Structure 1
Amino acid sequence: MKKTLLLLSLVAAPALAGEGKWTPQQVLELDPAWLKAQGLQVPPTRLWDPKRGTGLLAGAVSVNGCTGAFIAETGLVITNHHCVFPILQEHSTPQRDLITQGFLAKGREEELPGQGSRIHVPRSFTDVTKEMYAAVPEGADDLTRQKALERKEKELVAECEKRPATRCRVASFDGGVQFVLSDSVELADVRLVYAPPRGVGEYGGDEDNWTWPRHTGDFSIIRAYSAPDGSAAKYSAQNVPYKAEFFFPLATEGVKPDDFVMVLGYPGTTFRALLAEDMAERQSRFYPRVIDVYGELIRILEEEGEKDPAGKIAVASNLKAMRNRYKNSGGQLAGLKRGRIVQKQRESEAAVVAWAEKRKEHAGALSARAELLSLQAERAKTFEREFLLDTVRGAVKAPGLAVMLARLSQERAKPDLERRPEFMERELPRLADRLEREQKNLFTAADKRMFLALVRRAQGLGAGERIAAIDKYFGRTYAEKEVSAKLDALYANTKVLELSERQKMAGETEAQLRARKDPLLDFGLELSAEVVALEEQRDRRAGANVRLMPQWRRAVMAHAGKPVAPDANSTLRVSFAKVKGYAPRDGALYTPQTTLAGVMEKHTGQAPFAVPEKVAAAAEAKKHGPWVDKRLKDVPVNFLADADTTGGNSGSPTVNGKGQLVGINFDRVWENVANDFGYNPDVARNVNVDVRYVLWLLDQVEDADGLLRELGVRKGPKAQERR
């Protein structure tokens, strides 16, 4: 790793077990003797070599917003089933429903390419804090500050990405205490090798989501490809499997209670650094509104999907994501209440305030906190409008595509470094992929009903929160027949929903789009004006936050007098843990492992507890092979650990002290959903697929002989000879 300014000095290492998402460089500051005592059997420098800027941790890769792990030098990556769901949907039809049936490539020539799928392999991390702040003009106001930081970030990324097939980003730690530039190799040829049937990969469905005991095989295997010379390249029939320098061999012996494990990955966002009032806003407004609005949208997708087999496939990916967000919000609310998290944060803040009042060097932290509270109160005034505006363009395909095309035309007219980050030249291939991929997700009947529901809500907003574009096109008061008729006309007379026309629009100027007189495009252009205004307002807030939050966070860390792990920000992290059960409530004690027998006990023959026939046949015949846990006397399916995880850790490799894969992280327990706001060792449990369940399915159910040989589990021809 290149020069990296540590956020804090890692001392008192024994206190770090469980809690904390640590950066690769921070791992090197831990006491090696303590790590060895916990169960680490490789030198910490093998995890990350600061001279080379890489190590075993680089075997954990970013996959489409999830995490994955190389498990063979031939480019094989294991991740979650739900993380490759778009590839399954892309290649599914009512006649060949891969979502339901699953998929196994018998040879490399059968592997399925994933439109827009990307794998990022970490290469280096560089502290750029000084460079970022040096770019801010003296006396800059909040908007100017944010624009200057954004401009510098673009310049740093552009310089970093001069290397071919490179993906870079600048991540902020603790609200701006530190900025780090990450450099990754981007692999754009990603193909599906194996996905279990939906009755395995989603066993238990929404009912079991975020719960324990769990019996879900939430994993899939993909492969990264490169050009014949080893360089990263777009999809081509001439490409060859990517040669991974670091990978995690499969630990066929699995795990047992109290075993040491590490969870590696790219956790997305946590909220532990928020002020108590910000937490309270999420508890009182944000999560209840998600449950309310997304609950209605989910019902619409379910009802419309049941009317049409092709429509059911089209809405599957969106429905899955919405259900997850919906249930997560309920878990957040329950956890915030159960753990008294807002109250505890208020008490914690009060202690820091009392401490800082006695120290002149932290006077700035007190005034910063006061201003942050004032800004929070201002944001609350437009919460409803902002939430609906985000949902209209984010959840409904038609207006979302129209706004995207409008914004693309406006931003492409600017020099690259002056555009919004999401519309820069480096992002255009991804936007093109999305414009094409969304065709597979589009089901007009469902989309129209969702749009209708959100128009109704927007027309109920107060005078200070109106969405002008909706008022203009649909009126200020809700009349279902009139609004429905206008929506029918909007969908019937647009070309935005036709893929070939949409692809043409992506290259047109704003004037050309307006000249089309397309009603949906015109709506998108009207709505985009409000989006632009909101973006500027949020930039101003971001500038204020980066001016104020670092002052407060430095006081918090100084007051703690011990390591304070930074919030998750989608950068590579590692969490140390033990395999553990837990007691969710009085009188209940959960063991940390589940088995194949438990899968069959839940089997009802009806979704979501319908075990696929071939899986049930192997289980009932007790075709366990070598994958039985001698202590459990059965094939293990899932296990718990007390790792500190969050969204983005989906698909994270769970590895043992030797650096071998023992599981694939895919969820948290219900009592731990609010872990995003604070770690509670009593209930902080992540849920993993046991690697032995993976191997049992490949061996005893799928007879995936070639794949098992490639993974080094079964003796035979070399992996390169697999056909």
Structure 2
Amino acid sequence: MKKTLLLLSLVAAPALAGEGKWTPQQVLELDPAWLRAQGLQVPPKKLWDPQRGTGLLAGAVNVGGCSGAFIAPSGLVITNHHCAFGVIQEHSTPQRDLITDGFLASKREDELPGKGSRVQVPRSFKDVTKDVLAAVPAGADDLARFKAIERKQKELVAECEKRPATRCQVASFDGGLNYTLVDAVELADVRLVYAPPRAVGEYGGEEDNWMWPRHTGDFAILRAYTAPDGASAPYSDKNVPYKAEFFFPLATEGVKPDDFVMVLGYPGVTWRALLAEEMAERQSRLYPRMRDVFGEAIRILEEEGDKDAAGKIAVASQLKSLHNVHKNAGGQLAGLKRGRIVEKQRESEAAVAAWAQKNGAKWAEAMKAREALLAEQAATGKVFEREFLLGSTGRLARGPALAVTVSRLAAERAKPDLERRPEYMEREMPRLKDRLEREQKNLFLPADKKLLQAFVRRAQALGPDERIAAVDKHFGKTFSEKDVAAKIDAMYAGTKVLTLAERMKMAGETVAQLEARKDPLLAFGLDLAKELTALDDVKDRRQGAAMRLRPEWRKAVLAHAGKPVAPDANGTLRVTFAKVQGYAPRDGALYTPQTTLSGLLAKHTGEEPFDVPEKVSQVAEAKRFGTWMDPRLKDVPVNFLANADTTGGNSGSPTVNGKGQLVGVNFDRVWENVANDFGYNPDVARNVNVDVRYILWTLDQVENADALLRELGVRKGKPTVQETR
């Protein structure tokens, strides 16, 4: 990345302690003396060596949309329980309910493979800004601009992925001001080693989600495997554990208040570079609609799932995801209002504009870009309702979502690979087919029909200029509960989309072959797919405009700042530096930064979501702390807070000390910090971590996972032959 724009004289300053999701390249530009003063005990070059393209940061891995970390040279990866939930659900049945009871592999042969689970290990980062921008033809309109940039990104990725077992992406920074080619090794055989019972991994449930104090053991342990020669390979009983060059040893002494920590991982998306009016649109439209639509879906899934044990397992993963998004939306609304974030952004923009005007013609283009972005935002708001509902199809009823997937796959496969949408390119086929297969575990027809009925009702209530044609064609323009329910019953009775073997056949068929099936659910999916494709083109044009305009405005913002400005999160590897700290969420309340087993037991009611498993409560009540007691607390620490700058995607991130040892696993933010996605507030910016001592106490005193503890290097002795083979 260009140092002049992204780094801007990185000087040591206390304000840097928490704010900023720094790239590996940026870390090397930070003042080493400042980093030492914060508490970093390893040389910065140990974190990332650009010559080798690796370093300690390579111990932090991407785990399918979450983060994770190698914690032993034998391929062991720690992440969150909720990040491994898909694998846990995959192997759960009413007779063997791993979701409820948890799982521990007593030997490696017992470890459970995860369909489609992958681990990506970072290898290198390369600035490709000139290559990407040079691909835009002179005089290109906004749609052509988007298509040219996207095609160049695909070409760079294709060239990068000529290396075996490689996963690449071209990441955009600051709205298209910079582009970086990210190169990673992808490991395709990932197995579940340990998951605690759900009542540990989700202790507190939705009531405690995004809250503090917390007492949640949100962790799980996986293992990555390779072929015997070390090459990445799909699951095979001949595979061997991955040999991790970089991993984070466990710091058995844990942390105490004011300790220095780093959170490493793959934060997904933040929106600090948006204009105030763009933020206001999210506040006034997007988050309220998410609360409404997803809240209804949650009620349906809970009501229907409670009627059937197998159904409850089937909807668990979708329900978990919707709960998280739904509550997050509420936190965003509360945080935007409480922090006056939109108002502060307006003030900040006004300051940049005034500064730019004083500096004359140099920033004239930046001012024009801002005005044009505002005009684009105003136009988008006029079609919000239809676009939101149509775009939500993938989150709601699984039947139509699957029908849409096979329909779009057929349409895209008819194009040359580089002209397809990225998610349907050949490189995505293994993931797509894994998802199509894995969704079978998520199907529960009574709930799915009710979700589709709710979707149809909302679509039929749209205004005349926002109609969803596929809904009007298959269900009519006016809602009648009885008629719609009957049509849905007939649609599901006559479909083969929900039959795994037939669905996998559909994944290889053409549009004509799919149409010839005369399958009612598939026909609905084919029509929805056409509208989604058209909507994608609209969004691509808007994105092309943003790629043209936002970089000019961002240049002014960065120049005006005169200090380090870390780019918005975009799913790439980042590091945030922090201290273990409590906070004061409101007048008269002061939260300490650590919780304990005693606090966990104090919350116990014997009913969800505060029902401590008996095997945990017996050990905790007997105060069998082992060697994991904190001498200051005189108890086993469960969770702790730090002021790290995190967001979604940081779930499962390793939290490490200045020596590079793991002291915890990040899994959440506090409620007051949800709107941190729009701006960092040091008063309430706190992330929530599982303390490593609670993890070790669970494995030691509760599970007696002797072999695993020896493998982790915290118990003397070596694993037996049976345990290692």
TM-score bracket for the superposition, by shorter chain length = over 0.9
Change in 2 beyond 3 A, CA 1:458/1:486 = same
Alpha-carbon shift at residue 13 of structure 1 (Å): 2.2
Q: Counterparts of 1:638 and 1:65 in 2: how far apart (Å)?
A: 23
Change in 2 beyond 3 A, CA 1:720/1:250 = farther
Change in 2 beyond 3 A, CA 1:246/1:185 = same
The residue number in structure 1 matching 2:185 is 185
Q: Counterparts of 1:248 and 1:582 in 2: how far apart (Å)?
A: 28
Alpha-carbon shift at residue 5 of structure 1 (Å): 8.2
Q: Counterparts of 2:476 and 2:393 in 1: how far apart (Å)?
A: 16
Aligned partners of 1:710 and 1:722 also within 8 Å: no
Aligned partners of 1:711 and 1:719 also within 8 Å: no
Alpha-carbon shift at residue 529 of structure 1 (Å): 1.1
Aligned partners of 1:667 and 1:686 also within 8 Å: yes
The residue number in structure 1 matching 2:8 is 9
Q: Counterparts of 1:396 and 1:5 in 2: how far apart (Å)?
A: 48
Supply the AA of the counterpart residue of 1:651.
G
Return the TM-score normalized by structure 2: 0.99
CA deviation vs aligned residue, 1:613-656 (integer Å, no higher than 9, x gap): 10001001111000000000000000000000000000000000
CA deviation vs aligned residue, 1:147-188 (integer Å, no higher than 9, x gap): 001110110000000000000001000000100000000001
Q: Which segment is superposed worse, 389-398 or 297-306?
A: 389-398
Alpha-carbon shift at residue 8 of structure 1 (Å): 2.2
Please state whether the residue corresponding to 1:95 is helix, strand or coil: coil
Aligned partners of 1:252 and 1:692 also within 8 Å: yes
Please state whether the residue corresponding to 1:478 is helix, strand or coil: coil
Please state whether the residue corresponding to 2:496 is helix, strand or coil: coil
Q: Counterparts of 2:527 and 2:720 in 1: how far apart (Å)?
A: 56
Aligned partners of 2:5 and 2:558 also within 8 Å: no
The residue number in structure 1 matching 2:563 is 562
Q: Counterparts of 1:90 and 1:333 in 2: how far apart (Å)?
A: 34
Whether 2:149 is the aligned partner of 1:164: answer: no
Alpha-carbon shift at residue 355 of structure 1 (Å): 1.1
Supply the AA of the counterpart residue of 2:50.
P
Supply the AA of the counterpart residue of 1:524.
G
Aligned partners of 2:194 and 2:220 also within 8 Å: yes
Supply the AA of the counterpart residue of 1:569.
N
Alpha-carbon shift at residue 687 of structure 1 (Å): 0.2
The residue number in structure 2 matching 1:332 is 332
Please state whether the residue corresponding to 1:255 is helix, strand or coil: coil
Alpha-carbon shift at residue 3 of structure 1 (Å): 9.7
The residue number in structure 2 matching 1:367 is 368
Change in 2 beyond 3 A, CA 1:645/1:10 = farther
Alpha-carbon shift at residue 4 of structure 1 (Å): 8.3
Q: Counterparts of 2:74 and 2:530 in 1: how far apart (Å)?
A: 48
Aligned partners of 1:6 and 1:26 also within 8 Å: no
The residue number in structure 1 matching 2:74 is 74
Alpha-carbon shift at residue 464 of structure 1 (Å): 0.8
The residue number in structure 2 matching 1:96 is 96
CA deviation vs aligned residue, 1:681-702 (integer Å, no higher than 9, x gap): 0000000000000000000000
Q: Counterparts of 1:472 and 1:481 in 2: how far apart (Å)?
A: 17
Counting matched residue pairs gives 722
Aligned partners of 2:6 and 2:558 also within 8 Å: no
The residue number in structure 2 matching 1:264 is 264
Q: Counterparts of 1:5 and 1:658 in 2: how far apart (Å)?
A: 31
Aligned partners of 1:269 and 1:647 also within 8 Å: yes
The residue number in structure 2 matching 1:499 is 500
Alpha-carbon shift at residue 10 of structure 1 (Å): 4.3
Aligned partners of 2:5 and 2:559 also within 8 Å: no
Supply the AA of the counterpart residue of 1:12.
V
Supply the AA of the counterpart residue of 2:511.
E
Whether 2:427 is the aligned partner of 1:426: answer: yes
Alpha-carbon shift at residue 589 of structure 1 (Å): 0.4
Matches within 5 A, 1:461-610: 461-610=462-611
Supply the AA of the counterpart residue of 1:685.
R
The residue number in structure 2 matching 1:450 is 451
CA deviation vs aligned residue, 1:503-556 (integer Å, no higher than 9, x gap): 000001111111111111111111111111101101101110000000000000
Whether 2:250 is the aligned partner of 1:255: answer: no
Structure 1: which 4+ aligned runs deviate by more than 3 Å?
Answer: 2-6, 718-721
Q: Counterparts of 2:249 and 2:647 in 1: how far apart (Å)?
A: 25
Alpha-carbon shift at residue 393 of structure 1 (Å): 3.4
Alpha-carbon shift at residue 328 of structure 1 (Å): 0.5
CA deviation vs aligned residue, 1:541-573 (integer Å, no higher than 9, x gap): 111000000000000011111111100000000
Aligned partners of 2:8 and 2:562 also within 8 Å: no
Please state whether the residue corresponding to 1:312 is helix, strand or coil: helix
Q: Counterparts of 2:2 and 2:388 in 1: how far apart (Å)?
A: 40
Matches within 5 A, 1:613-632: 613-632=614-633
Q: Counterparts of 1:99 and 1:390 in 2: how far apart (Å)?
A: 30
Aligned partners of 2:142 and 2:542 also within 8 Å: yes
Matches within 5 A, 1:300-449: 300-359=300-359, 360-449=361-450
Please state whether the residue corresponding to 1:583 is helix, strand or coil: strand
The residue number in structure 1 matching 2:39 is 39
Please state whether the residue corresponding to 2:514 is helix, strand or coil: helix
Unaligned runs of 5+ in 1: none
Supply the AA of the counterpart residue of 1:439.
Q
CA deviation vs aligned residue, 1:115-159 (integer Å, no higher than 9, x gap): 000100000000000000111101100000100011101100000
Change in 2 beyond 3 A, CA 1:611/1:345 = same
Please state whether the residue corresponding to 1:116 is helix, strand or coil: coil
The residue number in structure 1 matching 2:215 is 215
Q: Counterparts of 1:520 and 1:491 in 2: how far apart (Å)?
A: 7
Q: Counterparts of 1:4 and 1:272 in 2: how far apart (Å)?
A: 20
Alpha-carbon shift at residue 721 of structure 1 (Å): 6.6
Aligned partners of 2:2 and 2:178 also within 8 Å: no
Supply the AA of the counterpart residue of 1:103.
F
Q: Counterparts of 1:17 and 1:709 in 2: how far apart (Å)?
A: 35
The residue number in structure 2 matching 1:118 is 118
Aligned partners of 1:11 and 1:562 also within 8 Å: yes
Q: Counterparts of 1:654 and 1:102 in 2: how far apart (Å)?
A: 24
Q: Counterparts of 1:113 and 1:692 in 2: how far apart (Å)?
A: 27
Q: Counterparts of 1:427 and 1:487 in 2: how far apart (Å)?
A: 31
Supply the AA of the counterpart residue of 2:394.
R
Aligned partners of 1:709 and 1:716 also within 8 Å: yes
Alpha-carbon shift at residue 64 of structure 1 (Å): 1.1
CA deviation vs aligned residue, 1:559-615 (integer Å, no higher than 9, x gap): 111111100000000000000000000111000000000000000000100000100
Change in 2 beyond 3 A, CA 1:264/1:522 = same
Q: Counterparts of 2:406 and 2:718 in 1: how far apart (Å)?
A: 51
The residue number in structure 1 matching 2:25 is 25
Q: Counterparts of 2:183 and 2:722 in 1: how far apart (Å)?
A: 33
Aligned partners of 1:368 and 1:549 also within 8 Å: yes
Alpha-carbon shift at residue 12 of structure 1 (Å): 2.4
CA deviation vs aligned residue, 1:363-403 (integer Å, no higher than 9, x gap): 00111000100000111011100111011233211111111
Q: Counterparts of 1:614 and 1:139 in 2: how far apart (Å)?
A: 68
Q: Counterparts of 1:67 and 1:461 in 2: how far apart (Å)?
A: 39
Alpha-carbon shift at residue 244 of structure 1 (Å): 0.3
Please state whether the residue corresponding to 2:584 is helix, strand or coil: coil
Please state whether the residue corresponding to 1:625 is helix, strand or coil: coil
Q: Counterparts of 1:335 and 1:436 in 2: how far apart (Å)?
A: 39
Aligned partners of 1:5 and 1:127 also within 8 Å: no
Q: Counterparts of 1:394 and 1:255 in 2: how far apart (Å)?
A: 39
Unaligned runs of 5+ in 2: none
The residue number in structure 1 matching 2:287 is 287
Alpha-carbon shift at residue 208 of structure 1 (Å): 0.3
Query: Cα RMSD between the aligned structures?
Result: 1.1
Supply the AA of the counterpart residue of 1:45.
K
Supply the AA of the counterpart residue of 2:6.
L
CA deviation vs aligned residue, 1:66-89 (integer Å, no higher than 9, x gap): 000000000000000000000010
The residue number in structure 2 matching 1:706 is 707
Q: Counterparts of 2:115 and 2:7 in 1: how far apart (Å)?
A: 41
CA deviation vs aligned residue, 1:198-228 (integer Å, no higher than 9, x gap): 1100000000000000000000000000000
Return the TM-score normalized by structure 1: 0.99
